[in-house]
Amino acid sequence: MFVKQTILGLTFAMALGGAARADEFKAAIGRENNNRCHMDVCYPFTLTSSTLISVNPDGAFYKVTYLMREDEYRSREDGNDYDYPPVKRGKDERGTFVVFCSKTRPQLDGEALRPGDEEGVFGATELIHLEYWAACHNYIAKDGASSKLAKKLGYHLAPASND
C-alpha cells in the first residue's frame, strides 16, 4: 500500500511496511562539520534536527534542519590557512533540506549523489556529500567522496553514466 505525502514542496510515495529500515540511518545532531573550505572560505554546518518523513524499499526520507555560516580566512605563507581562527566569522543561518538516505539511490533535495565516487564528487557537490554523511550516518567526514567510507557502510552504486 502506498501513501503520498508532500513535504517542502516535494511529493513522496511512501511504502507502508517497506523493506528499508530507518533505524540503520542516524544524523550527527549538534556536531559541527568544518571540513568544506575553499579559497580562504569555510562553510561549517551543524545539524539541529532530523525528522523521519517516510520509508520505502530503497531507503528513508528525512527532513533535516541545520545552521551554517561562512567563515573567512587569510592565506598564510606556511600553507596552514585553516589552522588558525577565521579573520571574520559569519552569522549562523538556518536552513532545511530533505535527504533520501539510501545505499543504492542517495539524494539530497532531489539531487542524486555519488558517495564513494571520487570522480563524481567535486567542488560544488562536495558540501552536499558532507551533509549527506552527517545526516544519514552520524559521520563528520573530512572528504565528501570517501570511497573507503562508502565501502565500509555498504554502498553499492551503479557506475556513473557518461551521458
What is the mean pLDDT of the segment spanning 140-151? 84
Look at residue 77 in the predicted model and tell me its pLDDT: 81
Q: What is the pLDDT of residue 136?
A: 96
Q: What is the pTM of this model?
A: 0.80
pLDDT tens, position by position, 80-124: 777 788 899 999 999 999 999 999 999 999 999 988 887 878 777
pLDDT tens for residues 19-68?
456 777 899 999 999 877 888 888 999 999 999 999 999 999 999 999 99
- If you average pLDDT over residues 1-20, what whole number do you get? 43
Residue found by looking up cell 557537490 in the block: 125
CB–CB of 95/47 below 8 Å? Answer: no
- Tally of CA atoms within 13 A in the half-sphere of 13 that contains its CB: 4
Q: Which three cell numbers stand for residue 136?
A: 544519514
Residue 9's pLDDT band (cuts 50, 70, 90): very low
Contact 96, 63 (CB under 8 A): yes
